[in-house]
Amino acid sequence: MGRKLDKELIKESEEELEELLRKEKDARVYRRIRVIYLIKTMEKPKLKEIAERVGIVKKTAFEYWDWYKKGGIDNLKLKYKGRKPRLSEEEIDKFKERAKEGFESLKEMQEWIKEEFNKELSTNTISYW
């Protein structure tokens, strides 16, 4: 028993979906939009075939379709905003200015941040910057 995939529910044109796919940088969101794109563009779309093409299971493809029907393309995008930065923008700017003078090591950077801002950051975090 297959689930009915009503192409008419997709508000975006084929071209708009192609543009969204071209611009999308997050692989998870790309897969979600691609499911909708394939439903829109396939002659007789079937979730099983779409899932195989996208590299996901049929249940996940149905989930994406369901999310789309409930909230449109925006409902497929990630809601995660990220963690609050450990240093403020001003502190980061001050650190970058000091870094222009040079540090001997990540450890020295770590100690400078501790003394200057009274904050402890891992050397991994500092290295990431």
In tens, the pLDDT along 69-90 reads 999 999 999 876 667 778 888 9
Residue-wise pLDDT for 20-46, tens only, equals 999 999 999 999 999 999 999 999 999
* DSSP state at residue 56: S
- Taking the model in full, what pTM does it have? 0.61
pLDDT number for residue 83: 73
| Of residues 28, 23, 25, 88, the one with CA closest to residue 60 | 28
- Give the whole-angstrom CA distance, residue 21 versus residue 12: 12
3-state helix, strand, coil in the chain (%, to 5): 65, 0, 35
